[in-house]
Structure 1
Amino acid sequence: MSIKKLLIAAGILAMTATSCSKILDVNPETDLDASTRFQNLEDYRFSLIGTYSLFRDPNYYGGVDGNSNAFGLLPDMLADDLIETAESLFSEFVFSSWTYTAREKQVEEAWRVAYKIINQANITLQGIDRFAEKNPGTVARIKGQALAIRAHVHFDLLRYWVNDFNRNSNSPGIPYIVVSDYEQKPARGTVRETYDKIEKDLEDALELLSGQDVNQGDERAYIDADVVKAMLARMYLYSNELDKAIDYATQVIDQHSLAARHIFPQIWTDFSNDEVLWYIAFDAGQGTPGGNVYAPTQNRSQYGPNQDLIDQYDVNDIRPASYYKVVTDGSGADRTVFSKFMAKFTAQKRPDGVVNFKVFRVSEMYLIRAEANARLTAPDESAANADLNELRRARINGYTDESLSGQALLDAIELERRKELIGEGHRFLDLKRKGVAARRVQRANCTERCVLAPSAPQWVWPIPQPEIDANPGIKPQNDGYGG
């Protein structure tokens, strides 16, 4: 669906909703002019909650058979950490085999739902400033979150749909949509222009949310100032603005601790939010974030963890027990499954696959700061080692600090990202941001479709053909996909 068509069809929320205390209670329904239909700030609050609810889409952070979970588990299927199994229903085969085209439906769906969320955020922003004089705090909270969502989703689009992450690149970027207007036919702009707009939205969001209480108690369902700082740290790592990445990662780390080893497993069953900065809330009937990899209720594993990665964990590491399980299939044979999102147990003592998706965690900030320090023109290897060792100490009982340098240090940080962040939306994109000269997928324990070469066009997703057909101004198509 094109952006133009999407803006006509994109919804905001049911204005008749009777309970909106949680994200889970609201579903978008129909487009409207917020400046005339929204009569008070409660209407805008409902709209914001509806915006959050769209992240549960199976093509964003959800995950069921036949849907890509594009910004969650898919980067590991595109790369080398989750490998297709004999139980596959071929739902993501076009991705794991890198055979997607401009007419691939799941690529189109990822594009569509991303711009749907952006449109909903724009509706939430439309006309809200007229309430700012009497209710400055409430307006700041709603507006800041909507701006951060808009920036976050545009950045996710940039990660898949552009080939050059350099901050000053004049290569084609992505359309940056800031108004809800179904008549627009946006051009792509450049990568630099896209970064500028993402950065501006995040800076404005940070100013609005600083000092604001957004979440209640230990919930992390809403974006606060620290989440915005985490977004900035991630963006600056991609754009190679390493000093800024270090700065913002440090600001988050200074406010949040890593989970204790005995608490860490509880993060993945939603019994603890320690070190979680922002999650997308899921409840029964609203999706299973890991369901397109391992469906516990059906005991089907379409993609299994690469044994090469599992072998990299220390024997005293707490993560394998939280991320992987050995289960018995229908024939009585044991196999290892990716169980990070197996989630809570039902009354029948079976995991239900329903768990909040963790979008940002403190551990990523340690890894961002470690990598950025190691990649500085004048590397601060002492600081990089300190962060790497601190994360490992939190995860490995009896860990002894190491002191690494040069490429060995960079390799260790990259491996730690694989071990820590598997299934959270990173691996393929981590490889991609190395640049055309260095990136490569090289799958171990693989017999076919094992290598994606650095120059392959599949590192960049195609603009969906229906979008190009509806909006000629969005050209050029990405290299290797025609048009």
Structure 2
Amino acid sequence: MKKNLLYIFSLAGLLTFNSCADELNTEPTDKVSGTQVFEDANSAEAAINGVYRMLYVAGWSANWGSENCGQTAIQLLADLMAEDHLMYSQGQGWFYEDYRLNVHGDFSNTSGRSYSIWNFYYTIISNLNYIIASENTMGGDPAEVKRIVGQAYAMRAYSYFYLIQLYQQTYKGNEDKPGVPVYTEPTVAGSEGKPRGTVQQVYDRINEDLTKATTLLKDLEQKDISHVDYYAAQGFQARVSLVQHEYQKAADAAAEALKKPGLQLASVEDLGGNNNVDVSDVMWGMKIIADQSSGFASFFSHMDADAPGMYGSKAPQCISTGLYKLIPTTDTRLAWFRGALSEDEEVAGTSKISYCQLKFKMADYTTRTGDYILMRAEEMVLIKAEAECHLEQYATARNTIKELGTLRDNGFETRLAGRTDSNSYNSNTNSALVTLMDEILFQRRVELWGEAGRIFDLQRLGLGYNRKYEGSNHTETVQTKNTEAGSPLFILPLPQSEIDGNENITDADQNPIVQ
């Protein structure tokens, strides 16, 4: 009989995490039973802090650990799979195969994307389920119990949201297609694996968890920026509702998220290298201290081409000319990217190459650190504006997008006045902007470049792309690959280890594999 191959860390592993997960243990620690571990809020808080730690460490695969470095790695690969972000050179191949849409062949091993991402999110879910199972028995301050369990529900929803987007096509029009296995109870070695279910069932679980999270977290302060609070959970809801095309719900959740006390949009100057969670626009992020730096296996190592000895100098990350040329000269975000340089201006091994990104920079080269920002107020403004435009609330959408646009571009109001009131948008993503929706989606592409995972937006909007156009700087144009809307290359195959180990999933349940 097959046994499911879910993974879980021991409690000690959660606190000192630095390597890949061991196979699922019968309890979350060898010394204390699962029910005892979370008898009180203090031990449960240590566990939820361990889950947050998982978001920024490497080692989720048997090999290639430096490119499997947690949540920011997944956001980066989802950006590179689309059309606005490119790698100037191949380096050692890390992330370059994502950019080439060439990772499907790795589904059968435990080093590639299929396995590492599956392992990452299901490990997190497994640990969260132990916390959630203790909801009605956990001792301690009732407010602390609500805070911890609320975070666990929010993070479980967050994990399933990424899983369903990565292993199946977008929600709308695919509700009855196979989803991902949903686990809501603690699992032990030998637990029966769950079937894939449907996309609808996964989203039902996500929304139910977010409702529970926002109910529990309401009126509780955010103890640390790394903790998901009520407002960040509303931000999760806004993201989910946008994908589901539930636009009023998305607008309402984004508006609620923006009510966070003290939250303010930040200037490009204040954002600096997008490496500081103490900036006024940050809603949720991870503060990285020197002894928690992942060094070479980190987001900033891959992004910052000027970081000495880091990977970015070997394989610089750049903006596409298609997107860059749509940015007006009055937009302060041009400072996030170099323009075209002459051959004698370019310097190999640094950011001094044409169109190299300068948006993400290490905060300290000596300690190789920089904070990871996982949610900003600007994203909520963009979600609210887009949702309002979908709802044909054009005057309201204009006012909403002005909040961000005028902060970034002193010519924005004149620019916006030229956009027609329409929720239609270009199918060619490099075309001139005409409608209000074109403008809002453009603002999202620039503001969240490298952060949100552009491929997810293309999926929910029903868009494909073409990297081969006049003046394109793409080093891989993937002309032989299917990049039309709904391409099977936009999602991952299930890992073979899950098919081999889960008695309720067979080869017949596998996603299309394109090699």
Q: What TM-score does the superposition give when structure 1 sets the normalisation length?
A: 0.85
In 1: Cα distance, 2:468 partner to 2:403 partner? 29
1:248 counterpart SS class: helix
In 2: Cα distance, 1:481 partner to 1:276 partner? 38
In 1: Cα distance, 2:146 partner to 2:350 partner? 57
Instruction: Say if 1:13 and 1:47, in contact at 8 Å, map to a contact too.
Output: no
User: Counterparts of 1:370-449 in structure 2 under 5 Å?
Assistant: 370-376=385-391, 379-401=392-414, 402-403=416-417, 404=419, 405-406=421-422, 407=424, 408-435=435-462, 438-440=463-465, 442=467, 444=469, 445=472, 446=474, 448-449=477-478
In 1: Cα distance, 2:444 partner to 2:14 partner? 42
In 2: Cα distance, 1:427 partner to 1:35 partner? 41
* 2:146 aligned residue (140, 143, 151): 140
1:5 counterpart SS class: coil
* 2:320 aligned residue (279, 296, 306): 306
Q: Structure 1 residue 166 and structure 2 residue 172: aligned?
A: yes
Q: What's 1:11 paired with? A: 10
- Bigger shift: residues 320-329 or 108-117: 320-329
**CA-CA distance at 1:251 after TM superposition:** 1.2
Q: What's 1:481 paired with? A: 513
Q: Structure 1 residue 215 and structure 2 residue 223: aligned?
A: yes
* Residue identity matched to 1:337: C
Q: What's 1:67 paired with? A: 68
Q: Structure 1 residue 337 and structure 2 residue 356: aligned?
A: yes
Q: What's 2:494 paired with? A: 463
Q: What's 1:112 paired with? A: 119
- Bigger shift: residues 457-466 or 305-314: 305-314
**CA-CA distance at 1:260 after TM superposition:** 4.2
In 1: Cα distance, 2:20 partner to 2:223 partner? 20
2:124 counterpart SS class: helix
User: Counterparts of 1:230-245 in structure 2 under 5 Å?
Assistant: 230-245=235-250
Q: What's 2:202 paired with? A: 194
Q: What's 2:431 paired with? A: none
Return closer, same or farther for 1:170/1:443 CA change in 2, 3 Å cut-off.
Answer: same
Instruction: Say if 1:3 and 1:112, in contact at 8 Å, map to a contact too.
Output: no
Instruction: Say if 1:367 and 1:388, in contact at 8 Å, map to a contact too.
Output: yes
Post-superposition Cα deviations, 1:186-213, rounded to whole Å, max 9, x if no partner, equal 1111111111111111111111110111
- Bigger shift: residues 293-302 or 100-109: 293-302
Post-superposition Cα deviations, 1:419-444, rounded to whole Å, max 9, x if no partner, equal 00011132111001123xx4335455
Return closer, same or farther for 1:328/1:207 CA change in 2, 3 Å cut-off.
Answer: same
2:283 counterpart SS class: strand
* Residue identity matched to 2:223: N
**CA-CA distance at 1:152 after TM superposition:** 0.5
**CA-CA distance at 1:89 after TM superposition:** 2.0
Instruction: Say if 2:83 and 2:467, in contact at 8 Å, map to a contact too.
Output: yes
Identity %: 22
In 2: Cα distance, 1:331 partner to 1:243 partner? 45
Q: What's 1:84 paired with? A: 87
Return closer, same or farther for 1:477/1:425 CA change in 2, 3 Å cut-off.
Answer: farther
Instruction: Say if 1:289 and 1:341, in contact at 8 Å, map to a contact too.
Output: no
* Residue identity matched to 1:344: A
Query: How many residues were matched structurally?
Result: 460
Q: What's 2:47 paired with? A: 47
Instruction: Say if 1:165 and 1:191, in contact at 8 Å, map to a contact too.
Output: yes
**CA-CA distance at 1:51 after TM superposition:** 1.0
Instruction: Say if 1:297 and 1:353, in contact at 8 Å, map to a contact too.
Output: no
Post-superposition Cα deviations, 1:368-391, rounded to whole Å, max 9, x if no partner, equal 111111112xx1111122222221
In 2: Cα distance, 1:85 partner to 1:432 partner? 25
1:433 counterpart SS class: helix
* Residue identity matched to 2:12: L
1:83 counterpart SS class: strand
5+ residue gaps in structure 1?
18-23
**CA-CA distance at 1:163 after TM superposition:** 1.3
Q: Structure 1 residue 317 and structure 2 residue 335: aligned?
A: no
Q: What's 1:94 paired with? A: 97
In 2: Cα distance, 1:130 partner to 1:364 partner? 37
Q: What's 2:156 paired with? A: 150
2:86 counterpart SS class: strand
Instruction: Say if 1:344 and 1:353, in contact at 8 Å, map to a contact too.
Output: yes
Q: What TM-score does the superposition give when structure 2 sets the normalisation length?
A: 0.80
**CA-CA distance at 1:461 after TM superposition:** 1.3
In 1: Cα distance, 2:15 partner to 2:237 partner? 36
Q: What's 1:21 paired with? A: none
Post-superposition Cα deviations, 1:355-414, rounded to whole Å, max 9, x if no partner, equal 2222111111111111111112xx111112222222111112354342322232222122
5+ residue gaps in structure 2?
425-434
In 2: Cα distance, 1:366 partner to 1:441 partner? 28
Q: Structure 1 residue 361 and structure 2 residue 376: aligned?
A: yes
* 1:274 aligned residue (256, 280, 287): 280
**CA-CA distance at 1:178 after TM superposition:** 1.3
**CA-CA distance at 1:455 after TM superposition:** 4.8
Q: Structure 1 residue 252 and structure 2 residue 257: aligned?
A: yes
* Residue identity matched to 2:512: G
* Residue identity matched to 2:323: L
Return closer, same or farther for 1:201/1:260 CA change in 2, 3 Å cut-off.
Answer: closer
**CA-CA distance at 1:148 after TM superposition:** 0.6
Return closer, same or farther for 1:338/1:301 CA change in 2, 3 Å cut-off.
Answer: farther
- RMSD between aligned residues: 3.2
Return closer, same or farther for 1:466/1:424 CA change in 2, 3 Å cut-off.
Answer: same
In 2: Cα distance, 1:311 partner to 1:289 partner? 26
In 2: Cα distance, 1:82 partner to 1:306 partner? 6
**CA-CA distance at 1:346 after TM superposition:** 4.0
- Bigger shift: residues 206-215 or 305-314: 305-314
Q: What's 1:20 paired with? A: none
**CA-CA distance at 1:87 after TM superposition:** 4.8
Return closer, same or farther for 1:356/1:26 CA change in 2, 3 Å cut-off.
Answer: farther
In 1: Cα distance, 2:173 partner to 2:233 partner? 19
In 1: Cα distance, 2:87 partner to 2:449 partner? 15
Instruction: Say if 2:180 and 2:197, in contact at 8 Å, map to a contact too.
Output: yes
1:358 counterpart SS class: strand
**CA-CA distance at 1:307 after TM superposition:** 2.7
* Residue identity matched to 2:301: G
Instruction: Say if 2:338 and 2:358, in contact at 8 Å, map to a contact too.
Output: yes
